[in-house]
């Protein structure tokens, strides 16, 4: 019986993926798996039993990734599961920034009690007039699951779309419309585009990437959209750019004291993936990742260990090892198994940066002595029998 604990409410459609061999636990004690959305985990003490954490969403800033890797805890996320929900909100953001729809709605609310509001509306509507997005240039920084969907949708709306992503995956490239122009530098995005939207992960290299120098290269009156992470934008420089007229509108999904309520900035309360469909898609993907890992040892969409797939576990004994990516590891493992008289039927070893993962099918079950010997190898963080 496997046990899992949810740190946040997880959509029932996802939890329904777990069959009778799984039990939800009220606490972390003795749990094999943790499912999480936004709960902060950096200060949590996880029991040794926890082998996997699944984030029902893409961002993993709330999870101590490196610490988990050191302990052999595999961390999954669900890339692309909420992409359509975010894409739709980005499109809405562009439309809201192009025409003062919010201002018009607020005006009607203020004047709602006037008997001649219909006549007043005809006189006042010009102050809320804006422009159409068709024919405008849109620059997309990051062409992953969300960025590529935004690109295709915007192209379908008649926009001239420029995309920049030096690390674009083959799958993302295949999914892009042929009309998307691939920019070789951010400078082209900054200098050419009327709208710019950011879709990159937050890391040291991208923190405050939209800074004073970036704003200086942008067209006057640019609209900037940020539905990825607030720290991607240097908000002090943003305020200066707004006041100078360099930026016409800033649309963000991240409310904080710097941007909330400020003129020229439209802020939504982190609604990007807050749709019923997105939450269900993320929950389903997370639950499937957990099951495949616990029952078969397979890894897909981990942020701290490599992908590894040996199919459904049908071997008498399958063992999974998380370890450091260092020389002589495999030879030590096979030597121990050989000395215990254990024959290897199949084996896969994959690495990702500092860490590696080895999945081994044995023709007979490993003894506790063999497992203990494997755990004693320097650099091995966890040895798990896949059942």
221 CB contacts (<8 Å, ≥6 apart)? 194, 245, 246, 247, 248
Alpha carbon distance 106, 121 (integer Å):
12
Mean pLDDT value across the chain? 96
pLDDT at 176: 93
Exposed, middle or buried, 290 (CB in 10 Å: 0-12/13-18/19+)? Answer: buried
pLDDT at 169: 82
Q: Give the residue carrying structure tokens 């939209």.
A: 210
Q: pLDDT category, 115, cuts 50, 70, 90? A: very high
CA angle 8, 148, 290 (to 5 degrees): 35
pLDDT digits (tens, 9 = 90+) for 151-169: 999 999 999 999 999 988 8
- The model's pTM: 0.83
Average the pLDDT over 214-218 and give the result. 98
Alpha carbon distance 189, 250 (integer Å):
16
Average the pLDDT over 358-372 and give the result. 96
pLDDT at 175: 85
Q: pLDDT category, 172, cuts 50, 70, 90? A: confident
| 3 state SS of 71 | coil
Q: Are 35 and 17 in contact (CB under 8 A)?
A: no
pLDDT digits (tens, 9 = 90+) for 6-20: 999 999 999 999 999
Q: pLDDT category, 387, cuts 50, 70, 90? A: confident
Q: pLDDT category, 59, cuts 50, 70, 90? A: confident
pLDDT digits (tens, 9 = 90+) for 295-310: 999 999 999 999 999 9
Alpha carbon distance 273, 292 (integer Å):
25
pLDDT digits (tens, 9 = 90+) for 237-275: 999 999 999 999 999 999 999 999 999 999 999 999 899
Label residues 60-96 b or e (16+ Cβ within 10 Å = b): bebbbbeebbeebbbbbbbbbbbbbbbbbbbbebbeb
Alpha carbon distance 235, 218 (integer Å):
16
């Amino acid at each position: 019986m496997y046990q899992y604990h949810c740190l946040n409410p997880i959509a029932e459609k996802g939890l329904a993926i777990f069959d009778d061999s799984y039990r939800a636990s009220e606490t972390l004690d003795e749990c094999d798996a943790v499912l999480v959305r936004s709960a902060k985990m950096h200060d949590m003490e996880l029991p040794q039993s926890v082998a996997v954490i699944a984030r029902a969403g893409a961002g993993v800033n709330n999870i101590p990734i490196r610490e988990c890797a050191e302990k052999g805890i595999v961390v999954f996320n669900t890339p692309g599961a909420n992409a359509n929900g975010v894409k739709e909100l980005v499109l809405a953001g562009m439309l809201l920034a192009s025409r003062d729809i919010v201002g018009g709605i607020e005006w009607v609310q203020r004047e709602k009690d006037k008997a001649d509001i219909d006549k007043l509306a005809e006189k006042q509507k010009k102050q809320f007039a804006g422009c159409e997005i068709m024919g405008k240039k849109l620059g997309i920084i990051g062409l992953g699951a969300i960025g590529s969907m935004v690109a295709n949708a915007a192209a379908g709306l008649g926009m001239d779309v420029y995309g920049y992503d030096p690390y674009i995956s083959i799958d993302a490239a295949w999914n892009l419309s042929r009309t998307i122009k691939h920019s070789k530098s951010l400078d082209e995005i900054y200098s050419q585009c009327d709208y710019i939207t950011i879709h990159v992960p937050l890391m040291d290299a991208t923190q405050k990437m939209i800074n004073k120098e970036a704003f200086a290269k942008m067209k006057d009156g640019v609209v900037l959209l940020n539905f990825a992470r607030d720290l991607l934008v240097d908000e002090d420089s943003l305020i200066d750019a707004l006041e100078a007229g360099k930026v016409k509108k800033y649309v963000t999904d991240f409310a904080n004291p710097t941007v909330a309520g400020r003129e020229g900035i439209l802020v939504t309360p982190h609604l990007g993936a807050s749709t019923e469909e997105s939450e269900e898609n993320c929950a389903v993907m997370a639950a499937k990742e957990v099951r495949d890992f616990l029952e078969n040892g397979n890894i897909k969409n981990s942020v701290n260990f490599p992908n590894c797939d040996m199919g459904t576990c049908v071997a008498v004994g399958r063992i999974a090892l998380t370890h450091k990516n260092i020389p002589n590891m495999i030879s030590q493992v096979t030597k121990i198994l050989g000395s215990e008289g254990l024959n290897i039927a199949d084996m896969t070893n994959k690495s990702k940066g500092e860490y590696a993962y080895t999945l081994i099918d044995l023709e007979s079950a490993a003894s506790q002595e063999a497992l203990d010997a494997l755990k004693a190898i320097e650099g091995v963080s966890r040895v798990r029998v896949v059942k």
